[in-house]
Structure 1
């Protein structure tokens, strides 16, 4: 494929092979592209596929989304639908601007089809994102999700107020909001997955827009079951499964040095565990909580298996890095042919 042989090869050489340098270069180019309407129209013709779904009351033109982390500050928003995505999730954004962890903090594991990151919620803050979204000036054309995280300087006992400040700044702009309580790169954050903390968060946020909870793949099934009970009790609209893992199972021998870096692992080694978690969530809730499946999707078959496990929608991050927009199109085409999600119990996720 042209992307893998030419485009990806060039990107992977940028900055002397520094993954974050390539990411930043790509975002700058996509931000420039976002102002070029003829180019966006040409890309839409090449990549956009209709496979509509309605999930948690939101209409999606296709079930393939861009995961949080790729465009944290929403600098290239019009480009993503043109590249075929049926929805876009920006963030993770925090109430306070923060630089994130020291660089280097993003590492490719090419033989494994994986990435390790310890970014640490680097972003310009909720107010800056709200200003950028307000200035966008035209409809995005696909649903916009906004991933919310805790500012690093905020102690756990101030987490609810911190998330609420971000939500209030951004609520008019998002079609749904994801509560990220599962990143391994902010100290203490995963403690917010326990019953008391999560109940308080949902109590503050649930009401106006769909609120989803993004969970870690490293939780045990009893812990996930308790978290799901809190989600159901608290009125969460759904679950995103999963975030990155602190485990390193399935890494290729050639990638072990990069895998030894601290941070969360995403990509192919996460695929089986992410699918297991999606299946458990779907089974445990009887389909009452729609699931966005994310983790290790590098082919249409990977996505079909995620849908078969119970996902209503899927998201790409690492798969997009390694396979490009052709992967988005291929998954959406498979969904349009009937390789997408089955209707969930209670009508939680039914094709339109």
Structure 2
């Protein structure tokens, strides 16, 4: 797709957002847009047209990570497709990999609606979805039906709300046994603020037995290959806690860390405080998360280097943000909230911009650029 198409894509989406989408409840708008994405993947002529418009990225962006050979480093974060109902359609839009979930051991409805809100002045979202999903048995059956006709796929698992904390490990193990064989990588989510007590599992005394049990369950369930295992952490951890998680990841031979999930902080927002307060509790994502998420990524890379694969997410809006994450230590980068505000042309613009930044840099490949800024400041 030519660069000249990009402004038109953005103008059309901005017009649709201003005139229609922003007037619709955010969760209803999500379901409507996602239905169109799924439709595009099912109709042969439409599928071909969408695939042609959102063509693969520049060959120079190809990366190898977590045992996957990917056309580029940019994927869709968990939360958009909780039940693996639209992974083919999302791949058509140009995402290099898709992470589904969060999936829990048992099906659950999540928190009462409304539970997803836009903060347009800050290009942010607030959500308290509460891991609404059909449960790991249903999602596993759907992934089995997909077979190999799918993009590179991460599966994000969390704790069922009704399960007591004393049984949390077994709940994660149940999901692992059902889902690991269908995953290119598996993510243990202990960082959502919307399930009571979940973030307590980030304490290394509780995280160690959880990750160990999930690793063992994945190996039992998929004896013919090693399913990469990652943990997703919160941006609200203190620096010393980040260091402990990083050290634990190295000690356990963990494959990766995703930095970061949403934040409970509301600091630095441009929106009126009373308007933000009216939205209630939930995790904040989008542009305001950018600086803290980047700082967490830098600290993790300085601690683990290339011993653990890092995925950067949080406040990623454009190619500059992706490039900055790569230089800070991210082998892969994810986004979600930026998709809501930028629309379907988002991935194409990111890929082209990233290719230009790589070409203008002293680095031959993205792999060469990973962590370059951190290495230069910590010789």
TM-score range, shorter chain: over 0.9
Where 1:325 maps in the other structure, the secondary structure is coil
Aligned counterparts of 2:317 and 2:34: Cα–Cα separation in 1: 21
**Corresponding position: 1:233 with 2:251:** yes
When structure 1 is superposed on structure 2, of 258-267 and 334-343 the one drifting more is: 334-343
**Corresponding position: 1:305 with 2:308:** no
Question: Structure 1 residue 93: deviation in Å?
Answer: 0.3
When structure 1 is superposed on structure 2, of 238-247 and 253-262 the one drifting more is: 253-262
Aligned to 2:21: 12
**Mapping of residues 123-134 of structure 1, within 5 Å:** 123-134=133-144
Where 2:173 maps in the other structure, the secondary structure is helix
Which of residues 296, 303, 310 in structure 2 aligns to 1:277? 296
Aligned counterparts of 1:325 and 1:256: Cα–Cα separation in 2: 32
Which of residues 150, 161, 167 in structure 1 aligns to 2:170? 161
Which of residues 70, 93, 109 in structure 2 aligns to 1:83? 93
Larger radius of gyration: 2
Which of residues 305, 327, 331 in structure 1 aligns to 2:346? 327
Where 1:226 maps in the other structure, the secondary structure is helix
Q: What are the Cα deviations for residues 116-135 of structure 1, in whole angstroms up to 9, with x where unaligned?
A: 00000000001111111122
Question: Structure 1 residue 201: deviation in Å?
Answer: 1.5
**Corresponding position: 1:40 with 2:58:** no
Contact 1:335 1:341 in 2 (8 A): no
Aligned to 2:271: 253
Question: Structure 1 residue 314: deviation in Å?
Answer: 0.7
TM-score when normalising by structure 1: 0.92
Where 2:243 maps in the other structure, the secondary structure is helix
When structure 1 is superposed on structure 2, of 225-234 and 180-189 the one drifting more is: 225-234
Aligned counterparts of 1:327 and 1:281: Cα–Cα separation in 2: 28
Contact 2:326 2:370 in 1 (8 A): no
Contact 2:41 2:92 in 1 (8 A): no
Q: Which structure 1 segments of 5+ residues have no match?
A: 346-352
Question: Structure 1 residue 298: deviation in Å?
Answer: 1.3
Q: Which structure 2 segments of 5+ residues have no match?
A: 1-9, 220-225, 359-365, 372-379
Q: What are the Cα deviations for residues 120-173 of structure 1, in whole angstroms up to 9, with x where unaligned?
A: 000000111111112225511x31000000000111221111011111111121
Aligned to 2:375: none
Aligned counterparts of 2:47 and 2:72: Cα–Cα separation in 1: 18
Aligned to 1:182: 191
Aligned counterparts of 1:117 and 1:187: Cα–Cα separation in 2: 15
**Mapping of residues 204-215 of structure 1, within 5 Å:** 204-206=213-215, 207=219, 208-215=226-233
Which of residues 5, 26, 31 in structure 2 aligns to 1:24? 31
Contact 1:110 1:255 in 2 (8 A): no
In structure 2, do the counterparts of structure 1 residues 323 and 168 end up closer, same or farther at CA, with 3 Å as the change threshold? Answer: same
Question: Structure 1 residue 289: deviation in Å?
Answer: 1.3
Question: Structure 1 residue 38: deviation in Å?
Answer: 2.7
Q: What are the Cα deviations for residues 106-125 of structure 1, in whole angstroms up to 9, with x where unaligned?
A: 01000100000000000000
Greater helix share, 1 or 2? 2
Which of residues 301, 314, 321 in structure 2 aligns to 1:295? 314
Aligned to 1:336: 355
